[in-house]
Amino acid sequence: MLLRSLAYLRPDTVAEAVSALAGAEHARALAGGQSLLNVLKHRAAAVDLLVDVSRLEELRSVEVRADGSARLGAAVTYDELEHHDALRAAHPKVAEVAGGLVDQQVRCRGTIGGNVCYADPASNFPPLLVALGATLHVTGPDGDRDVAAGDFVTGPYRTALRRGELLRAISLPALDDGDGVGYRSLQVGRDSWAVARTAAFVRANGTIGEARVVLGCLGGAPQRAAAVEERLRGREPTPELLHEAAQAAAEGIDPVGDAHAGAGYRRAMTCVMTHRALLDATGLG
């Protein structure tokens, strides 16, 4: 289906973009267009103004500081993340996940900001950003505010963004010695969407001090696996502990069942992905 006719604006500044987004009844930011244009072609959303943020200089940069913390502009593409040397050194999993999106065309156009703001339950980045303890920097008609990654996606295709607001950048805290990150997804076909996913952050110095285990592909927002985290905290990471803790990923989740995978299969595979992500995060894999 072809796009309906609509207005298109390419602002020069963030302030201009915010003012345009806030000023129109049905305006949307356009980044890589890899999801939004399909939504519009399918008439799944009514939009009469596209505000193209993909070339805003401020949204296009990656900054990696000496301590390993990083700030990613919202309009940085997957391809740019994958090939950013300093980011690969400081946050290898972010670069790896960006490079793991199957389609090179999508990697060259799609952006990390668009990925999070689209908030598809199967989107790659939201669970990883929650596990990493990321902060999202938002700007809008009422000024700037920060949103913790865990509060940003509020449901399927829903975020904490208010009318007229724009995601500017994403901050990642530095990884310390003893920190590990794991990320595992199950795809049934090579180019299909994932049906189960776990991102895990583990801080361990002899025993596990902190663990953030985040489940995706359940049908809604990424979900913290509190029961898994509880079983890990204060314990020495061993293969047996990780296996036992991963089984608790099935507690408190209500996965969607659809044409891609039944609810029971998603639940079982969520435990398997959690086990593998924990093995990776602790270096025991």
Ligand X SMILES: Cc1cc2nc3c(=O)[nH]c(=O)nc-3n(C[C@H](O)[C@H](O)[C@H](O)COP(=O)(O)OP(=O)(O)OC[C@H]3O[C@@H](n4cnc5c(N)ncnc54)[C@H](O)[C@@H]3O)c2cc1C
Residues of the shown chain interacting with ligand X in the complex, contacts defined by CB under 6 A: 28-36, 53, 74, 101-103, 106, 110-111, 113-115, 117-118, 123-124, 161, 166-167, 193
182 φ, ψ to 5°?
A: -125, 150
User: What residue type is assigned to position 96 of the chain?
Assistant: E
Q: Tokens 């894999």 sit at which residue? A: 285
Would you say 167 or 245 has its CB closer to ligand X?
167
- Token pair for 135: 């902060």
Pick the closer one to ligand X by CB: 35 or 274.
35
Q: Select the residue whose beta carbon is closest to ligand X and give its number.
A: 114
Phi then psi for 181, rounded to 5 degrees? -130, 130
Which residue number, 90 or 217, has a Cβ lying nearer to ligand X? 217
Please tell me the distance from the alpha carbon of residue 26 to that of residue 162, in angstroms, as a whole number: 13
Q: How far is the CB of 117 from ligand X (least distance, A)?
A: 3
Helix, strand, or coil (residue 24): coil
Q: Least CB distance from residue 65 to ligand X, whole Å?
A: 22
**Beta carbon nearer to ligand X, 157 or 210:** 157
Using the minimum distance from each CB to ligand X, give the nearer residue, 194 or 200: 194
At closest approach, how far in Å is the CB of 143 from ligand X?
15
The CB density around residue 140, as the number of other CB atoms within 10 Å, is 17
Nearest to 29 by CA among 220, 168, 170, 124: 168
CB 110 within 8 A of CB 124: no
Smallest distance from ligand X to CB 215, Å: 15
| Chain CA centroid to CA 83, Å | 18
The rounded Cα 224 to chain-centroid distance in angstroms is: 14
Minimum CB–partner distance for residue 19 and ligand X (Å): 14
Q: How far apart are CA 280 and CA 277, in angstroms?
A: 5
Here the tokens at position 239 are 């293969």
Residue with smaller CB distance to ligand X, 65 or 162: 162
Q: Nearest approach, Cβ of 239 to ligand X (angstroms)?
A: 30
